[in-house]
Amino acid sequence: MAEISKELLLEKFEKAFGDKDNASVYFAPGRVNLIGEHTDYNGGHVFPCALTIGTYGVARKREDRKLRFFSANFEDLGVIESDLGSLNPGGDRNWTAYPKGVIWAFGQKGMEVTQGMDLLLFGNIPNGSGLSSSASVEVLTGFILRDLFGFEVSNQDLALIGQFSENKYNGVNCGIMDQFAIAMGKKDHAIYLDTATLDYQYAPLHLDDARIVIACSNKKRGLGDSKYNERRQECETALKELQEMVDIRSLGELDEATFEKFSPMIKDGNRARRARHAVYENQRTKEAVNALKNGNIKVFGQLMNASHVSLRDDYEVTGIELDTLVDAAWKVPGVIGSRMTGAGFGGCTVSIVKGSEIENFIKTVGEAYLSKIGYAADFYVVDIGDGPCKL
């Protein structure tokens, strides 16, 4: 997807707000998680990377307390106005809930925003795709507030504030992975993150002649109204049942053998399968990172495939759209690995595909999807980029 020029962004800002005086331009990436799905709120490991597509913002401080928002992705909504006195958790039903949530969260953390702002956003992440457009907006807003108001916060703090705002302002019980991957992104590296401790290391992604291809199912979904919170609840209950016998703080502390030994403590078959996924996926993520360090991209791909099977059968978050994309991908020559990525229930798959086979991959998987699902998927060949910046 093409980069969006600074000139175009300032032009759009001027059209929305009357002039572009004192406006600055910013960018925060989207992210894709290569392996380690639904482990982040279970105290496990994840392995995401930031992308070169994301959310652009143009912002300037106002002298009053008015907030004016405009999205070039939802132009028909026009300029949405509110003010600093009307930030109300759970009260917003449009995209402005994300930037407002972050402004509110800064205040909750003792960094009160006392002046309003004009903010234009323009993203080239497919909306509702599961590539974290919401977390991208949250980190971007935090980065802008730090720049405009001089708040002393690190990029890691920006991730935590973004997660806090999504949990408390928007009511989505998300883990830390999305915001962390976006705030801490590093070009050509994925982030091996222990979500329980926030210990992390950058791992160079040497894919040789292969590329990352994202297939967007175009099935729209919202995290808050999906079964995301339900899965989280099932894992929390399973953890409580296990804790009667095992001294652990999270499912991420268990290895497979210990889980198998104590899993009869979980009183419900569905809950046991959810917990099993969390434990086994965490181990797969550790193995995958080791495989990559040893230059064994083939094993990395096999672990991606196994991740999808577990998400389909044990966690039950894939659905016909994602399964169709992955099943078709597995049959294409040159595919090293393919799996759903993100929360599931629609959204995207991530595949590692040999460069010479990408054209065939997009054609073959696209045709299989269209014929089975009845509408088209979109494909993006992506690069791994840095975290947020001022342009």
Lookup: tokens for 57: 């913002």
Other C-beta atoms closer than 10 Å to the C-beta of 21 total 8
Which of 289, 376, 277 is closest to 33 using CA atoms?
289
Lookup: tokens for 49: 């990377």
- Grouping H, G, I as helix, E, B as strand and the rest as coil, residue 237 is helix
Which of 208, 202, 211, 54 is closest to 138 using CA atoms?
54
Lookup: tokens for 365: 């998987």
Catalytic residue from among 40, 92, 118, 178:
178
- Respond yes or no: is residue 178 known to be catalytic: yes
| Integer Cα distance of 188 and 292 in angstroms | 13
Alpha carbon 54 to its chain centroid, in Å, reads: 11
| Integer Cα distance of 44 and 110 in angstroms | 30
- Grouping H, G, I as helix, E, B as strand and the rest as coil, residue 179 is helix
Lookup: tokens for 372: 């089975």
Positions marked active-site: 178
